[in-house]
Amino acid sequence: MSEQDIVRGIIDALNQSGQAFVWRNQSGQACVRGSRMHLAPKGSPDIVGWMRDGTGRFVGLEVKTPKGVISPDQVTWQAEMQARGVVCGIVRSVEAALELVKSARLTRQST
């Protein structure tokens, strides 16, 4: 399964679950009408959105295949988000993403 397949599966599953509202976050640059367009900053997560648990907390998921390697920029982003209490992580499957978001909901409810 490709990273893109995993991303699509996670977006569909999280949006259908009602736990979070998420979408694909494109980073880097794209050529648009002959000009370079800057997208999200380098290292930003593949999937972003917010929790639907009444908190509206930001969600940022970096998706990798089982053998995918995390870049230094992605490690930095994850550390910055975790330091700020963002629901975030590096996930390698739909199941892992659902569990991460579910865990964040349960942690929030128990505080």
- Lowest model confidence (mean pLDDT) among 8-17, 24-33, 99-108: 99-108
The percentage of residues in the chain with a pLDDT greater than 70, rounded to a whole number, is 96
Question: What was the pLDDT predicted at 51?
Answer: 97
Look at residue 111 and tell me whether its pLDDT is greater than 60: no
Other CB atoms closer than 10 Å to residue 48's CB: what's the count? 19
Look at residue 83 and tell me whether its pLDDT is greater than 70: yes
Look at residue 22 and tell me whether its pLDDT is greater than 60: yes
Which residue ranges make up each domain of the chain? 3-109
Question: 3-109 belongs to which CATH class?
Answer: alpha beta
Q: What is the mean pLDDT of the chain?
A: 93
**Ramachandran sector of residue 54 (left: φ over 0; alpha: ψ -120 to 50; beta: rest):** left
Q: What is the reported pTM?
A: 0.90
Question: What was the pLDDT predicted at 110?
Answer: 55
- Which residues does 106 contact at the CB level (< 8 Å), separation at least 6? none
* Confidence category of residue 19, pLDDT binned at 50, 70, 90: very high
